[in-house]
Amino acid sequence: MDLIRGQLVRSRAGRDTARTFAVLAVEGQMLFLADGSLRRLQSPKRKKRKHVAPIATVLPGESLADDATLRKAIAAFDAASPPNPTRRESLV
């Protein structure tokens, strides 16, 4: 599955496991991710594609305008389908 700007992903590995991020850019196997709180738009997290689980939801461009808007969009998505960090197979 090709990842595009604005698509939501959940981390499958690392200390941020089960955390929801938005894709800012794709460069080969590396993704640049932000969530608006721990990882801001100005300093996105670099993560390999194999360490995330893609979600079919794609945020509109205006949701990526600033950190507060991104935080609200991700919080709304997580409220509708909360992550389950204890079940790794649900993220695969």
Instruction: Kindly state the tokens that stand for 11.
Output: 């981390």
Q: How does pLDDT run across 38-86, given as a tens digit for each residue?
A: 999 999 999 999 999 999 999 999 999 999 999 999 999 999 888 776 6
Predicted model pTM: 0.86
Q: Give backbone dihedrals phi and psi of 67, rounded to 5 degrees, phi first.
A: -65, -40
Q: State yes or no: pLDDT of 91 exceeds 80.
A: no
3-state secondary structure 30-62: EEEEECCCCCCCCCCEEEEHHHEEEEEEECCHH
Report which of 23, 16, 34 is spatially closest to residue 1, judged by C-alpha positions: 23
Q: Tens digits of per-residue pLDDT, 7-22? A: 999 999 999 999 999 9
